[in-house]
Amino acid sequence: MSAFPFNALRAALAVALLPFAGLAQETAKATPAALQKENVVRGQAVYVQNCAACHGTGANGGVGPNLLTSVVVRHDTAGEEIGKVVHEGRMDKGMPAFPKITDAQVSDIAAFLHAKILLASRASALTGSTISASNLMGGDAAAGKKYFAAKCSQCHSATGNLAGVAKKHDPAELQTTMLMPKAGPLTGSVTAEGKSFTGTFLHRDEFTVTLRTADGTTHTWMTNHVGIKADDPLKGHRDLLPTYTDKDMHDVFAYLETLR
């Protein structure tokens, strides 16, 4: 059986991992929102600054709900529904209002979220549960191990965070996880009064930021009095994705399949 064309999947996932490089015409037809590269990139920046601490860097949930499955987002087209929630808040659910976010910024956030939803749908279609390991195999596991050691071992370990990874995911899930993993809780640092605090963001809006440090202590500051820096947990994957050859991807997948 012929090997699965990883490059076809990469072409779809690259848009999600890299700064949203132009979407096809069908994307614009999928929603009236202007899903052009500029809108989506601007929306991502506003989203990360104001929303990611609660809803996750990928909008798939954290302290707050998953926005990619949100009824409000799904019924929105160009920010008209999202804007109501952003500007008015939902205090009964712990979400503050963001009155300083402009209508244009809301429209950009909507473009970012709709692009994420469309890309998730495309990735799901490409990596359906009918894909078996035999469809995806064809790579050289030994070569994949060498590639992993050179390119991936700084963050991952076959005996550490990837131990038994092939048993935890079916082939389609493993393939997607290899190329486009889900981001974990948003981490980073806050600099206040000359002192730096590093940990996990529990909350962040235009008024306050709350960070939990490694010792379990929770700190809250006014955002206009501190410096805030969020980590990019998927930077390594974003950097690698455009450099992969089809052989590289098959080789690495073949190696990951041995981690049982």
pTM of the model: 0.49
Q: In the listed set 126, 146, 171, which residue is the last one of a domain according to the structure?
A: 126
What are the C-alpha distances in Å from 56 to residues 14, 63, 173, 233? 19, 8, 20, 11
Tell me the three-class secondary structure of 232-253, residue by residue: CCCHHHHHHHHHCCHHHHHHHH
Total domain count for the chain? 2
Tell me the three-class secondary structure of 86-147, residue by residue: HHHCEHHHCECCCCCCCHHHHHHHHHHHHHHHHHHHHHHHHCCCCCCHHHHCCCCHHHHHHH
Which domain covers residue 208, as residue numbers? 187-230
Residue 89 backbone phi and psi in degrees, to 5: 75, 175
Question: Is 61 among the domain residues?
Answer: yes
Question: Is 214 among the domain residues?
Answer: yes
Ordered per-residue pLDDT tens for the chain, 260 residues: 445 555 555 555 554 444 444 333 344 344 444 557 788 888 888 998 888 878 887 888 777 788 888 888 888 888 889 999 999 888 767 788 898 999 999 999 998 898 888 776 665 555 444 444 555 567 899 999 999 999 999 989 999 999 999 888 877 778 777 876 776 678 889 999 999 999 998 887 768 889 999 999 999 999 888 998 888 777 787 778 778 887 888 899 899 999 98
CATH of the domain at 106: 1.10.760.10
